[in-house]
Amino acid sequence: MRLTARIRNPVIPGYLPSGGTDDATSVYPFWVSINWRDVVSRCYRGVRDLTLKESRTLGWIVALSLSCIALAILLFELGYGLPLWWQFIALAIVTAATERQSVRVARNVETSVAFLPFVFTAVAFGPLSALAVGIFANALDFRRPYLRWAIYIPARGLTGALTGLIAAQMISGHANFGTATLATVVAGVANVFFDGLFNVGTLLVRRSAPISVYVRSVGPLTLLSLPLYVPLVGLMVFGYQHYSFWTAAMFLGPTLALQRVVHLYQRQRDVSQELVDANERLEAANISFATALVTTLDARDRYTAGHSASVARYARDIARRLGLSEEEQSLAHVCGLVHDVGKIGLAPGLLEKPGPLTLDERRQMEQHPVIGERILAKVDDYSEIARVVRHHHERVDGAGYPDGLAESQIPLLSRILAVADAYDAMTSERPYREPMPSRVARLRLAQAVGSQFDTTVVAAFEAILAQARESYRTGLGEAFRTTDSWGQRDALSPVVGLTARAS
């Protein structure tokens, strides 16, 4: 009888990422295979790239860290000590919590009320305690960006130590409230100074923002916070020295609540700014949409090319002269851009006809405000513009079209458009006539006051033209050559805007 070999675990063909005991790959059954050489190589490349890219920042971190260590050793040799372990933990946690609730006041600058527990520690417990609390509090505030976190661990330690050294010269033993407050004032100013010094240094090293941004953002908050927080810290110091640590801790609750209010206010301000930005983008989109419509119309009729841009400029200037709001001036500008958009719907050849129009053709032409209203009414937020466009050929005597409105029944912006439109039409070349001189067109406007045009609007436009250059009167200036050269610049306004860390 022959024995047959029985294979319990047959070899499975394929690649097993292992080269025996000498290979760098470790195989973990049921989990994963790790090539330690690749891991080490990737880590090395990451560290090398970071070192090359952030060499100045890493050098700044090393310099701050070495200075912090040297100062800590010196303070220990001078006999400064640390508070009880539970007091130290409490101070570090509270300081870390206030740092965590920092409020962004600029793109690269945040501020918080860590000033209170930080300066309290420096005045009540001394420089070594403030150094240790600054280090551990910021170490607990571990979050992105990590380089900023690494910078402000030693920076806060140095700030606390220097603040505590200055405060130690002002107070010793159980001081009265006046002495405690005076020491707190000096320590508070010193804290702001050294904190600002390290922040400015960080901005200079990282080149992340101009120094002026830091000064404008933090300066006003510092001037407001020092008179508010210094007496409170003085009370905390006095309460700790004469009563107990918990007496000082009682003042921190209202302080943290105040910081929360400031934080909510900052968030509300950010939301408001976002709303302003959204309105600006919407207004820019409105101008772009109006420009596209006008470009379509200009491409059809070479004689009226640029007419809408001129009417828009004149309309906004008249609105400004009449003292209308910025919103109404912007609206007048947009209405001027799109006032003739209804001509897109007219029969081919009607606009280009060199001779006089027949009665039927005139009736067709008089439909262009209605067509324009129909087009614009389908655009979101253009209902008011559509109404103004519909009535820009009405007359104050009621003989206009399409609805025969009179006097105050006609929207004011429509009356403004009527004057701006008529003047530019008279001073522009048309297929059936040469352009009129400005003085003749102005005389025609004056003659039609009270019948076709509003007296106040014509008077305002005449005042503008009397002081304007000839290029403005004829609509040949640079601002009249493109539909958005003037509007995009001026019409984009919205229509319906401590303790710091730099990075």
Q: Where are the domains of the chain?
A: 47-250, 275-490
Express as a percent the part of the chain with pLDDT over 90. 20
Q: What is the mean pLDDT of residues 102-119?
A: 66
Highest mean pLDDT among 47-61, 382-396, 424-438, 475-489: 382-396
pLDDT band at 4 (very low <50, low <70, confident <90, very high): very low
- Residue bearing the bigger pLDDT, 336 or 283: 336
Q: Token pair 């039927």 is at which residue?
A: 360
Q: Token pair 């992105």 is at which residue?
A: 144
Highest mean pLDDT among 64-68, 170-174, 188-192, 294-298: 64-68
Q: What is the mean pLDDT of residues 164-169?
A: 88
Give the model's pLDDT for residue 169: 85
Q: What is the mean pLDDT of residues 281-286?
A: 65
Give the model's pLDDT for residue 318: 95
Give the model's pLDDT for residue 162: 92
The fold of 47-250 is Arp2/3 complex 21 kDa subunit ARPC3 (1.10.1760)
Find the angle CA(471)-CA(474)-CA(475) to the nearest 5 degrees.
80
Strand 33-35 versus strand 103-106 pairing type: unpaired
Q: How far apart are CA 305 and CA 482, in angstroms?
A: 10
Tell me: pLDDT of 192 over 80.
Answer: yes
pLDDT band at 264 (very low <50, low <70, confident <90, very high): low
What would the CATH number be for the domain defined by 275-490?
1.10.3210.10
Q: What is the mean pLDDT of residues 118-135?
A: 89
Q: How far apart are CA 437 and CA 427, in angstroms?
A: 6
pLDDT band at 482 (very low <50, low <70, confident <90, very high): very low
Tell me: pLDDT of 489 over 80.
Answer: no
Q: How many C-beta atoms surround the C-beta of residue 106 within 10 A?
A: 15
Give the model's pLDDT for residue 416: 95
* Distant-in-sequence, close-in-space partners of 112: CB < 8 Å, separation ≥ 6: 98, 99, 101, 102, 103, 259, 498, 499, 500, 501
Give the model's pLDDT for residue 486: 36
Give the global pTM. Answer: 0.48
Q: How far apart are CA 438 and CA 475, in angstroms?
A: 10
Q: What is the mean pLDDT of residues 174-199?
A: 83
Highest mean pLDDT among 204-213, 318-327, 425-434: 318-327
| Of 6-15, 192-201, 253-262, minimum mean pLDDT range | 6-15
Express as a percent the part of the chain with pLDDT over 70. 70
Rounded (10°) CA dihedral 130, 132, 135, 140: -110
Tell me: pLDDT of 172 over 80.
Answer: no
